[in-house]
Amino acid sequence: MRLSVGKLLVIGASLCLSACGSTATRPLPQEMNQALLELTGQDGRACIRISEISGYASLSDSLLSVTTIRKSHALMVTNHRCPALESTSAAVFDGQFTQICGGNRDFIVVVSERCSVRSIFKFDDRQAALDAIDAAEQRIKAGRDNASS
C-alpha cells in the first residue's frame, strides 16, 4: 500500500490533534495534587519503604498507583508530566536511604527520565485509592467548568 505525502500529513495531523486533545483534558499534576490534598486531608509527604513495594501501575503521565507487600496502597503524583511514565514496564524508585517520600526530593526513574515525586497519598486498599482518583477528577472537572462559565 502506497501512501502519498498528503495522506501522511493528514494522518500525522490527526494523530497529533487527538494526542493533544486528550492531554489537554487530563488533570495537570498540580491539579491532581491539590484535589487529593483537599479530599484526603493528607499532606502528601507520606513515605514508603522501597523494599515493601510489590507492584505499581501507571495511571497517567503524572500519577502512579503503588501496592505494598502489606496490601496497602499509595498514589504518587509527580511534579511535572513524565511522558515515559505512561508507557514504561519498568521503573526504579530512587529515594533517600531506604524509602521514597513525597516532597520533591525523591524520584521515579523511567527509561531516561527522572520524575520527581511531588506527593504520596496512602490508602488502606486499592478501591479507596481509585475512589479518591475518581473524586479528584470530578472536582477538577467541576472547577474547570466553573472557571469557563
* C-alpha distance from residue 113 to each of 20, 26, 41, 62 (Å): 21, 20, 30, 12
pLDDT of residue 6: 37
pLDDT of residue 15: 37
Q: How far apart are CA 60 and CA 29, in angstroms?
A: 10
pLDDT of residue 140: 96
Q: How far apart are CA 93 and CA 80, in angstroms?
A: 16
Rounded average pLDDT per 10-residue block, the chain, 149 residues = 39 38 74 97 97 94 95 95 89 92 95 93 95 96 86
Nearest to 43 by CA among 117, 112, 121: 121
pLDDT of residue 16: 39
* DSSP H or E run through 113: strand 113-123
pLDDT of residue 62: 95
pLDDT of residue 87: 85
Is the model's pTM score more than 0.75?
Answer: yes
pLDDT of residue 24: 56
